[in-house]
Amino acid sequence: MRWSARSRSNTAVLVGLVLGCSSVLLGCHHPVVGKPVIMGASASSGVGVEVPDPKGHGNADPIPLDMEAAYDVVVLAPHAQPLNLASGGHFRDPTASTRSQLHRATEQNPTCIIAIDLLFWSAYQRVADKDRDTEREAQQRLASLEEVLDQLEVIDVPMVLGFVPKIEEERTSLVAANRIPPEKVLEKINGRIATWAESHPNVIMVDFGQFVQAAYTGTPTEIMGRMYSREEMDELIQEDGLHPTAQGLVVLMQLSCRELESRGLIEPEDWQSQIEIAMVELPAKAHAASHDIGLFGMMALKRSMEKINTAFEKEQCDTALAEFDRLLEQFATLSDFPDQWNDIKLAYMSHSFGWDWGPCKAAFIEAHRRQIDRLTPAISVERPNAWKFELWKESQENLNQKTLAIERLIEMQRDLGVLPEPFNDMAASYAGNVMAWKDHPELVRQLLPEDGQALFIANWKVKNWSKLQEKMTLNEGELLHPISASQLKKLKKRWNRSRDEFYRGDDADWESRFLTVYGPEPSSDQMVWADSARPWCSFLNSQYGLALELHAAGEHELARNYLAHCIDLAGPSFYETWRSETIKDPDDHPYPESYTSVKIAPPMYNEIEIWLPLEVHAEAH
C-alpha cells in the first residue's frame, strides 16, 4: 500500500492572509500555517495520549499531549501557538459542537484550520434500532454531515479535513453498535465529503480512514517515503482501537503538511517529514504546549470573566451560560495543568459553587453538565489525563455528585495498584474532608492506603494549609497576650454593633439571650492569641473536627492516630494551651476571634490512646 498526494491544482487561497511581519504582537509568521486553529473531536483533543517527561529521566509522570503539540513539532515555519478547540464531547452533538468551535475559531482570524476528525461523529451518530439498516439510517447520518458542512461554508482559509474511517465494533468498546454505519452508508458519506471538498478550493483532504484501517490491520505501509512495518503500524493507534497514539498524531500532521505542500501552500523546508526527528523533539514540545495558554489565552479568559460577571449581575442567564460554557470548554482543550492556573483558578471558581448561582442556577448547572460530557471520554481510560480529570471532578462536585469522582478514583486504584500523583493527592483530599466522611464513609475508607492511614491524611492537610509555619517555636508563655487598646476598641465596636442588631424592645429577655450568644462586653483583661499562633489554632480546630467525624464513622483508631499526628505537628505544649482555652467557660473567657469553640471537649495529651468522645461512647453503649 502506498499513500500518494492527491493531484490538485494550486489555488489562490492566500488572499487576505498576509500577516507577514507587520504584526507587532504575532511577529513574523507564515501566511498559511502562521496562525493555526485546531478543531475536531477526541482524537485531536489528545484523549489517552502521553509521552515521557523530557526532564524526568524516565521516573516522572508522562506528559499528556494533543494535536497542538503534533502541530508544533511538525510545522517548522514560524507560527503562533496553535489554539486547540477540539472537544472530547463532540460526539454528543457534532452540529452544536462544530458551531461552538467555529465561532471561537473565526474570532481568532486564523490562517489555517486543522480539523482531521471533525466529521467523524456525524457519520457515527446514534440512530434508533428501528432505523438500523434502512434508508432512514443513511438519511440521518448524511443529514448530520450536511449540517456540519453547511457551517464550514464560511471558512475561506486553508482547512484540512479527514475522510471518515471504518471502525470495527470488535476492535473498540468506545463506539456503540447503533453508532456504527453500514459499509455502504459510510461509502456514501465519504463520497459526499469528496464531492463537497472538490467544490471548495480551500479544503485539503487527508485520508484519515485509510490511516485507521492500515493501523487496524497492521498492513506494512509506505508513508512519505518511509516503510512502516506491521508492528510500527500497530503503534499508531491506542489499545482502545479508536484514538491515535502520540506517533499517530504526528503522522496525521505530517500527512496534512504533505497535502499543503502539494497545493503549493508551504515549502518542503516548512515542515518536518522525518518521523524519527519529530518523535525525539515531541516530549519537549508537549511539555511546553500542555502548560501554557499564552498571552492571548489569558486576555480571552479575562474578557470571558468580564462578560460572565456582567450577564450574571443583569440576570441575563442565557448569555452567562454561553460565555461560561465557552470558558469551561477553553479549560477542557488544555492537556495539562496550565502554568497560569493559580491566576485563573479564582476566576473559574467564582462561578462554580451553587450558592452563588442565584437566578442563573439552571444555566450554570447546564454548563457543568456540558463540561462533564466533554471530559468523560478523556477520563474513561485506565489512567486519565490528570488535568481533565481535575476539571471533570470539579464539575461533578459542583453538581453534588462527589460520589462519582470518589468511585472513579477507587476504580483507578484497583486497576493501577497504587494511585500515582496527582490522583493520590485527590484521594487524600477526600480522606481529609469532613463532609466526605459524613456523606460517603464507606467509599472514603477504600481510598485509604493499607498502612499509614493517619499520616496519609495529616501530610496532605499540612501540605495544603498554606498559613502554617514549618514549626511552632513559641513556648507556652508566649502563646497568649493581653489584648491591646486598639484590639479592644475593635472588639467593643463589633460587640456593640451586634447588640444593636440583636435589640428587641418588646422582648424583656433579649439581653440575656444576647449575652448567652456573644458573651459579656470585652474588657482590658481579655487575652488573645499571638499572631503566629492563630493559624495553628485554626488548624487544630478543623483537624479536631475531622477526628470527631472519623470517630462518628466508627474509625476510632484512625481518629486517635490522626489527632496524635496533628498534636505532634503543633507541639504537645501548644496543644494543651489550645485545649484549655477551648474548654473554658464562655462567661469567664469570651471567645477570641482566632478560633471557634468546640462542642465536645478535646482529650488531654496523655489520654489520646484511650480517647472516645462522650457522644460516641454513649451511642456505642
Q: Which of 346-350, 362-366, 591-595 is predicted with the least confidence, judged by mean pLDDT? A: 591-595
Instruction: State the average pLDDT over residues 275-302.
Output: 71
How far apart are alpha carbons 71 and 264 in whole angstroms? 19
Q: Where are the alpha helices (DSSP H) in 108-206?
A: 120-123, 135-151, 183-198
How far apart are alpha carbons 59 and 152 in whole angstroms? 44
The CA-based dihedral angle spanning residues 280, 281, 287, 288, taken in that order and rounded to the nearest 10 degrees = 180
DSSP SS3 for 22: coil
Q: For residue 328, which of 308, 311, 356, 357 has the smallest C-alpha distance?
A: 308
480-518 pLDDT, tens digit per residue, is: 777 778 878 887 888 888 888 888 777 888 888 888 777
More confident of the two residues 404 and 515: 404
pLDDT band for 342, please (50, 70, 90 cuts): low
Please name the helix (run of DSSP H) or strand (run of DSSP E) that holds residue 614, with its range, or none.
Answer: helix 614-620
pTM: 0.56
316 has pLDDT over 90: no
pLDDT band for 582, please (50, 70, 90 cuts): confident
pLDDT band for 467, please (50, 70, 90 cuts): low
More confident of the two residues 326 and 275: 275
Domains of the chain, start order: 36-264+271-288 (3.40.50.1110), 294-449 (no CATH), 476-483+526-620 (no CATH)
319 has pLDDT over 50: yes
pLDDT of residue 350: 54
- CB 44, CB 89: distance < 8 Å: no
pLDDT band for 478, please (50, 70, 90 cuts): low
Q: What is the 3-state secondary structure (H, E, C) of 287-338?
A: HHHHHCCHHHHHHHHHHHHHHHHHHHHCCCHHHHHHHHHHHHHHHHHCCCCC
- CB 231, CB 218: distance < 8 Å: yes
98 has pLDDT over 80: yes
Q: Which of 232-236, 306-310, 501-505 has the highest mean pLDDT?
A: 232-236
How would you classify the pairing of strands 112-115 and 83-84? unpaired
More confident of the two residues 10 and 247: 247
Which amino acid, one-letter code, is at 421? E
More confident of the two residues 561 and 620: 561
More confident of the two residues 304 and 369: 369
pLDDT band for 11, please (50, 70, 90 cuts): very low
Cell of 213: 484501517
How far apart are alpha carbons 185 and 318 in whole angstroms? 38
How would you classify the pairing of strands 480-482 and 226-228? unpaired
Cell of 618: 454513649
More confident of the two residues 233 and 76: 76
Helices (H) and strands (E) in the chain, counts: 26, 11
Helix, strand, coil % in the chain, rounded to nearest 5: 55, 5, 35
pLDDT of residue 310: 84
Arithmetic mean of pLDDT over the chain: 79
206 has pLDDT over 60: yes
Residue-by-residue DSSP string for 427-441: HHHHHT-HHHHHH-H
Instruction: State the average pLDDT over residues 406-426.
Output: 87
Q: How far is CA 540 from CA 430, 434, 471, 590, in A?
A: 18, 14, 14, 19
Q: Is the peptide bond before 78 cis (omega within 30 degrees of 0)?
A: no
pLDDT band for 471, please (50, 70, 90 cuts): low
Residue-by-residue DSSP string for 203-235: EEEE-HHHHHHHHHHT--EEETTEEE-HHHHHT
Q: How far is CA 65 from CA 374, 379, 412, in A?
A: 17, 14, 21
